[in-house]
Amino acid sequence: MPFSDDKYLGTGLPYLELIPIAAPEMPQAYALAAYYEEKVAAAQDQPHRLPLWSDFQLPELVQQNLASNVFVLEPVDGNTDWRYRLLGTEIVARFAIDRTGQKLREFDDPEHVEHLIQISNEIATSGVAKYYRMIPHNMDLKHLQIETMSLPIRNNNDDETWLFGGTFYGA
């Protein structure tokens, strides 16, 4: 999928409403969820029963055409914020932003960021993956199809839960 078509540029992360969905619907989103579930199944003998970040291999993600759509968030500031450790090139290109290394509070509006932090903390605490459709608030962009997911994983030291996920775009 080319990311030079400009139809998502300028939609901006703060203007997207998250609508929970039961499972991924877009083919790439479904593929990432299946890949994640394979890693979860392999981690069942681990203390937290979640895969480590090191279990996710870039060549595997590239082979499945998923690497450019993934992200990783880590909790910071005593779990009162989350920071992007990784933000895939497709996400950066679609939204014309690169938030790698930034905290949610550094770029999101105050009302929306509290909701995102709450959701992220709930997923990390529960250890349960969540899937969402993202709806732009701009009426001119309501036709856009965007899915995202947050999948709990453990950092490589196995001392905190991070979020691994992906954002995918349809026609």
CATH code assigned at 40: 3.30.450.20
Q: Is residue 121 part of a domain?
A: yes
- Any domain includes 46: yes
Per-residue pLDDT band for 171 (boundaries 50, 70, 90) equals: low
Distance of alpha carbon 38 from alpha carbon 51, whole angstroms: 9
What digits encode the pLDDT tens for the residues 68-97? 999 999 999 999 999 999 999 998 888 777
Residue 87 in any domain: the answer is: yes
Cα dihedral value 97, 103, 104, 107, nearest 10: -50
* Domain assignment present for 40: yes
Does 5 reside within a domain? no
> Quick check: is 117 in a domain?
yes
**Taking 80 as the threshold, does the pLDDT of residue 119 lie above it?**
yes
pLDDT (0 to 100) of residue 21:
97
Residue 6 lies in a domain: no
Domain limits for position 118: 22-170
Total domain count, the chain:
1
Residue 141: pLDDT band (50, 70, 90) is: low
| Mean pLDDT of the residues in the chain | 87
**125: pLDDT confidence band, cut at 50, 70 and 90?**
very high
